[in-house]
Amino acid sequence: MSRTVAQPKPTKPSRRTKPPRAETPPQHLHELEQIIEHARNLQLLEEDGEPLESDWHVVQIHLLDELVRQHLGEPDDYFCGGNMFVYYSVQQAEAVKTSKPAYKGPDFFVVRGVAGRRLRRCWVAWQEEGRYPDLIVELVSPSTAKKDKEENLRFYAEVLRVPEYFWYDPERRELRGFVWREQGY
């Protein structure tokens, strides 16, 4: 269900709370250590070599960043990213090397409750305590409209469970926003 920008901000979804940790059986510790070491040693791509759609996209990403900073203040406890990859799983990170559809690079996103001043060239969820973006904004262009409005909508709801997803389509002058509520947008 879409919402307007003027509505009150929703409460954080329950997926952010961590369940109590269970003890790992000793026979699984070695396997777990190997998986962690593999994730640490992955060579992550930082760009796909394709420029942004237009200068308009560059300006809008900088504008969104500035608006968030004016609203939230200095980025001590949040991170703004624009036109950078989001790695949400080791399997996806491995697939990026071989499959362009594995790329996930929102035009703009915000993650709250993290060290915002740390330099990042991409967002790597497993290096960020499993945190995914709290807000994603896509700037729709003719070549990305179907992906942003259909595929990304499903992906951000079903896989990342992004609490707030917006897109802006300048050709249609359409701003749509979606808020995560219990089972979906």
Condensed to tens digits (0 to 9), the pLDDT of residues 83-140 reads: 899 999 888 888 877 776 677 889 999 999 999 999 999 999 999 999 999 999 999 9
Judge whether 133 and 162 are in contact, CB under 8 Å.
yes
CATH code of the domain in which 109 resides: 3.90.1570
Judge whether 134 and 110 are in contact, CB under 8 Å.
yes
For the segment 171-180, the average pLDDT, to the nearest whole number, is 95
Q: Is residue 2 part of a domain?
A: no
The tens digit of pLDDT for each residue in 1-56 reads 444 444 444 444 445 555 556 676 666 666 666 666 666 656 555 455 554 567 89
For the segment 64-72, the average pLDDT, to the nearest whole number, is 97
Confidence (pTM) = 0.73
| Overall number of domains in the chain | 1
Q: Is residue 134 part of a domain?
A: yes
Q: Is residue 154 part of a domain?
A: yes
* Residue 137: domain span: 43-179
At 153, the pLDDT band (50, 70, 90 cuts) reads very high
